[in-house]
Structure 1
Amino acid sequence: MKKRLATWVSLLTIFAMVTAGCSGNGGNANGNANSGADSGTDGGGKKGEKTEFLFWTPFSGADGPFMKEIVDKYNSSQDSYKIDFVIQPNGEYYKQLDVALSTGKDRPDLMIMHLDQIPTYVNKGQLQPMDNLASAAGINKADYVEAAINYATIEDKWYGIPLDIHPLVMYYNKDLLEAAGVTSPPTNREEFDAAVEKATNKDKGIYGYVVPTLWPQQFIFPTLVWQNGGDLWNGTDVAYNSPEAIEMIEWMRGMVDKGVSPGNVQQDGENTLFLQGKNAIQFNGPWMKSQFDEAGLNYGVAPMPQLGKAKQAVFGGSHNFAIPKDVTDENIIAGIGDFLKYVSSNSLEWAESGQALASKPMLESEEFKALPQSAIAESFPYVQFAPNVLNWPTISEPIWGELNNALLGKKDAKQAMDDAAAKSKQAIGK
């Protein structure tokens, strides 16, 4: 939560927030009094002090305060550990992380990592498996959404404990659809095409669906390709210049040609129009919820409709907790395990940011089911992640510039995707 979720949100303001631990009831929220600190020492060996550890996240957007609240509550819930919570700028997160991990300077003890980054960092030898920590803390794989667990398990070792699953979702302006005579959100292409045409009112500058030419196409394009029976990677090579992919690009461009969408949509243009009440439907991530709430929009959220011809599918990302390989202090590792156990049953604040949680006990709780975004979890059975291919973010980078060319009408769809594929093949030495 992009992944670039969380890479993926364009706010680059740096927050550096350090939380202060408060005395609790002599034990932690999981009933493990002084877990990891039975010796009476902290990580520095000073008797009677809490074990402190550093936790990095890229939540530099509206989601940051929600995670800070979880950390604050954890720090106040027990007397053994204190988390120093730091938010790094999302756009620079992995650059900062690479420096910290390679030099050891100000290296985090615990960090948020996007799921599709885990294979690359495992290959670089910079992550440690979570199996022993999880076992000691009473954290079970069966308590999390399987798709994320399977992706983060490499050569039978578990490298990421998932916080959330953030699939692409559909937001719709209830007032605009109602005015257009659309009584329910569309679930397939026929219903979608009809709804966006009815909602378009050129005299009032209202569009049924504004086609983004940049972000969040990183979520939209893979979803459409998979739904249409195509793929991004065929097992040995890139495959996003397939007929199935080309057809979906042409379908998106067709909405511009029909006037359902304006052309030349700049970064975040579709969201700006949605906030202004001039875009009836947009596809985006769960992280947008707080922004729409603050704007006072009368909006709904629903799973992605099946717009392709083959199957239901949706691209998703996942924020995972991961630990650098060089973290060896047993007290710190015990503290991290204690915190992650706490989060597995105390993360409703994160759900309130708009995210759908990866912990099954939280998903099944009445509190989560009462939230509007609980509908997001309906797509978990068919969520798909980026191909589990080493250096996939680098390999796939050419897609987005060439897709932009196609959606702006600068190139036809096939030429654009052929060019993207050729550039990707260069990146992998083919």
Structure 2
Amino acid sequence: MKKLFALILALCMILTLTAVSAESERTTVVFWNSWTGGDGDALQALVTKFNESQNEVYVDMTRTTSFGDMLQTNLPTKEAADLILLNCNDLNKYGSYLLPINDIWENTSLKEEDFSSAYLGMAKVGDDLFGIPFQITTYMMYYNKDLLAAAGVEKIPATFAEWTEAAQKITALSTADKPIYGSGLFYCYNGQNQSVMQRFGTGYMIEGDEENGYKPNLLDNQALADALIWMKNLYDNGDNPKERDIDSMMAAGQIGLMTNGGWLKGRLDASGVNYGITKLPTVTGEDQSDWALGDLNCFMMTTSATEETKNAAYKFIDWWFTGSGLEGQDVTQGIDYSGITPNAEWSISMCYVNAYLPTVNSPEYQAVETLVAVSPSATAQVQMFTEVGTLFWSDAAALHGQMVEEWVFNGPTNPTYEDVQNFLAPYQDDLASYIAEYYQ
């Protein structure tokens, strides 16, 4: 009996040591990002699935609201994560601490031609590739179906004139007990405002390039003036609230039309509000697919990575686009969702348009009417505020939010083009100072 017990004990020790040895042989990839909300929970579930699906690589993911601070503190000392999710507009800010990943095509099953050239181009500096598209946060129009029906609005607005007309009719439904607004623009939210304003036809806030020079683009800009006048009139006419928490008002059934990204979808689903999603309007309504304005976040490698951890991270990125997801969805609309890739699952569940063409062209993606409806053309404009990667991007984006709020809440009523020019003059000077600070 003692011999049998000793044999069993020895076998248990061997199995334990074997398991520990196998675990220790895995290459650990440290992965940082700022996805701390519900979408981050979905990301964590997918990372866990990857870790459980193989025994070569372990992805150790940290989600934090201190992501930016962690990068600034740890990148210079090469103690940062190997892999990060970074907005392409921060390429120049952190460029010296990022690794080119031109060799990813040779070391994975991924193909460059399988990615949208417009989005992949945002992750390049010169001929060097620094990122693989993870998430496109394109702004879209959300609309309350019940409010539109109650107001007698039969056509979903495709132009800004139609937005104005529908907003007036919806606002008329408001009561003392339940205020209702036809329009729900965030005047403090620079991204949402700019996603609308560029659709009026205005270019970047600062135009040009480093070789030929930059110049501010606020004054003598008819399209920008038209956008600002439109936004202010909505507020002055009582069709758009001053409140900042428009998301909550939309979820409470108090907003008819608004612009937002895919992250709002989960909240509206939980609220029970009867809503739809489509492309944002334009001036003519005939070119709605020509803009896909928003942000692009990419998988990027830092200089803290070793050759071993970089190659291990490549395996995770490869799996993200070609592996198997959580397999949690049923067969619906005649489409089997049980074997979709993590990339497709992320895009479909979060309502994010995708840069990976095999996903975009898949029957699972094409079966989602909302995603198809908001998908842009292959040549759509995708960048906001200034050219991607410019050193003054953050300053210009921050100035934008201040500028719009000041104009809408404190500008003259019944504004004219000249009123807009007078108002924008000091902001034009501010942009000129950013150019001088960074490039002269």
1:271 and 1:46 map into 2 onto residues whose CA distance is 48
- Work out which of the residue numbers 146, 155, 178 in structure 2 matches 1:175: 146
Q: Does the CA-based 8 Å contact 2:31-2:62 persist in structure 1?
A: yes
User: Alignment RMSD, CA only?
Assistant: 2.5
Aligned residue identity for 1:168: Y
1:211-360 alignment runs, 5 A limit: 211-215=185-189, 217-235=190-208, 236-241=214-219, 242-262=221-241, 265-268=242-245, 270-307=246-283, 312-330=290-308, 332-345=309-322, 346=341, 347-351=343-347, 352-360=349-357
- TM-score, L = length of structure 1: 0.81
Worse-matched range after superposition: 378-387 or 167-176: 378-387
- Work out which of the residue numbers 17, 40, 49 in structure 2 matches 1:64: 40
Aligned residue identity for 1:284: N
Aligned residue identity for 1:170: M
2:143 and 2:302 map into 1 onto residues whose CA distance is 40
Alpha-carbon shift at residue 103 of structure 1 (Å): 2.6
- Residue 143 of structure 2 aligns to a residue whose secondary structure is strand
Name the structure 2 match of 1:189.
160
1:260 and 1:163 map into 2 onto residues whose CA distance is 36
- Residue 209 of structure 1 aligns to a residue whose secondary structure is strand
- Residue 38 of structure 2 aligns to a residue whose secondary structure is coil
Matched, 1:397 2:407: no
Tell me the alpha carbon deviations over residues 357-409 of structure 1, each in whole angstroms, 9 at most, x when there is no partner. 22111112222223354135522532321312233112442222121101112
Name the structure 1 match of 2:55.
79
Name the structure 1 match of 2:415.
none
2:395 and 2:22 map into 1 onto residues whose CA distance is 45
Q: Does the CA-based 8 Å contact 2:215-2:435 persist in structure 1?
A: no
Alpha-carbon shift at residue 102 of structure 1 (Å): 1.5
Q: Does the CA-based 8 Å contact 1:301-1:372 persist in structure 2?
A: no
Change (3 A) 1:207 1:369: same
Gaps in structure 1 of 5+ consecutive residues:
1-39
- TM-score, L = length of structure 2: 0.80
1:228 and 1:253 map into 2 onto residues whose CA distance is 18
Alpha-carbon shift at residue 298 of structure 1 (Å): 1.0
1:416 and 1:62 map into 2 onto residues whose CA distance is 40
2:86 and 2:310 map into 1 onto residues whose CA distance is 17
Q: Does the CA-based 8 Å contact 1:167-1:376 persist in structure 2?
A: no
- Work out which of the residue numbers 207, 210, 233 in structure 1 matches 2:181: 207
Q: Does the CA-based 8 Å contact 2:144-2:275 persist in structure 1?
A: yes
Q: Does the CA-based 8 Å contact 1:222-1:232 persist in structure 2?
A: no
2:359 and 2:297 map into 1 onto residues whose CA distance is 16
- Residue 231 of structure 1 aligns to a residue whose secondary structure is coil
- Residue 343 of structure 1 aligns to a residue whose secondary structure is helix
1:392 and 1:299 map into 2 onto residues whose CA distance is 34
Tell me the alpha carbon deviations over residues 271-312 of structure 1, each in whole angstroms, 9 at most, x when there is no partner. 221111011111011111111111122110101111479954
Aligned residue identity for 1:102: P
Please tell me whether Structure 1 or Structure 2 has the larger radius of gyration of its CA atoms: 2
Aligned residue identity for 1:343: W
2:73 and 2:119 map into 1 onto residues whose CA distance is 27
- Work out which of the residue numbers 96, 107, 111 in structure 1 matches 2:70: 96
Tell me the alpha carbon deviations over residues 154-184 of structure 1, each in whole angstroms, 9 at most, x when there is no partner. 2211111001222110001111111112223
Count residues with an aligned counterpart.
378
Aligned residue identity for 1:248: A
Worse-matched range after superposition: 75-84 or 353-362: 353-362
Alpha-carbon shift at residue 258 of structure 1 (Å): 1.8
Name the structure 2 match of 1:7.
none
Name the structure 2 match of 1:384.
382
1:284 and 1:413 map into 2 onto residues whose CA distance is 26
Gaps in structure 2 of 5+ consecutive residues:
1-17, 209-213, 323-340, 413-418
- After superposing on structure 2, the runs of 4+ consecutive aligned residues of structure 1 that deviate more than 6 Å are none
Alpha-carbon shift at residue 116 of structure 1 (Å): 1.4
Name the structure 2 match of 1:407.
408
